[in-house]
Copies of this chain bind each other. A is one copy, B any other.
Amino acid sequence: MQRPSGRAPDQLREVNITRNYTCHAEGSVLVAFGNTKVICTASVEEGVPRFLRGTGSGWVTAEYGMLPRSTGTRMGREAARGKQGGRTVEIQRLIGRSLRGAVDLKKLGENTITIDCDVIQADGGTRTASITGACVALVDAINHLQRRKKILDDPLLQLVASVSVGVYRGVPVLDLDYPEDSAADTDMNVIMGEDGGFLEVQGTAEGAAFDRGALDAMLDLAAGGVRELVALQRQALAEG
């Protein structure tokens, strides 16, 4: 089996994490998983949604979008159509849940951090790239709050990263690009913390069902991939 990109089954695409990509946000990251490129910003606002007011707890939430021509064929602009599609809603809920797993909301105080992940170029794995990049933007936003003395404790529990795994032509592979993704039998997105624990596992059979053996092989691949991604996050955070 030859992957379309020529990568080894357990090989990530080239991953780049560029901090301070835009100038206004408290955290701003351009993340690239190969040709998939996402701008991830973290915006800090005082106050929390109604259901948390007065609890002393903070909130982390996420929104996701794709530029209309981030894909091979132009997609309708969601703002023009007047609603976010089901896929968008599903992904932004996943990003929000995953990043809340990286944070002790109590230690965030009554502040809200809103993550925006906007895909400028798509080639498979936009949600996993988004989570991986957004976590770095989130750390920058937390650091911003600490430097301003808005929070005294460190609410960061651990770094969180995400990678896709799948079964392509019968072989478990890591970090699928679009040609693989659209042809894979199974597609799984795994979000893990740097301690190796799972925050979210979402596996879907495309076509035939998958068995326990395939599931185990994919989880092993994912664990290796996340370890590498966390190292890249660490490295990006160490710079500048």
Residues of A within 8 A of B (CB): 22-25, 28, 35, 37, 39, 41, 43, 45, 63, 65, 67-72, 74, 77-80, 82-84, 86-90, 92-93, 97, 101, 114, 116, 118, 120-122, 188, 192-193, 195-205, 208-212, 215, 219
Contacts and interface: CB of A to CB of B under 8 A. Distances in A.
Given A22-B121, A83-B82, A209-B192, A69 B116 contact: yes
A157 to B, nearest CB: 9
A116 B68 contact: yes
A198 B188 CA distance: 12
Contact of A200 (B41, B90, B203): B203
A43 B68 contact: yes
A90 B88 contact: no
Contacts of A23: 35, 121
B209 A205 contact: no
Contacts of A74: 25, 43, 45, 114, 116
A232 B43 CA distance: 35
A86 B71 CA distance: 24
Interface centre among A79, A97, A114 (most CB of B within 10 A): A79
A216 B59 CA distance: 31
A209 B41 contact: no
Please give me the 3 A-B residue pairs with the lowest Cβ-Cβ distance, nearest first.
A197-B209, A78-B79, A43-B74
A8 to B, nearest CB: 23
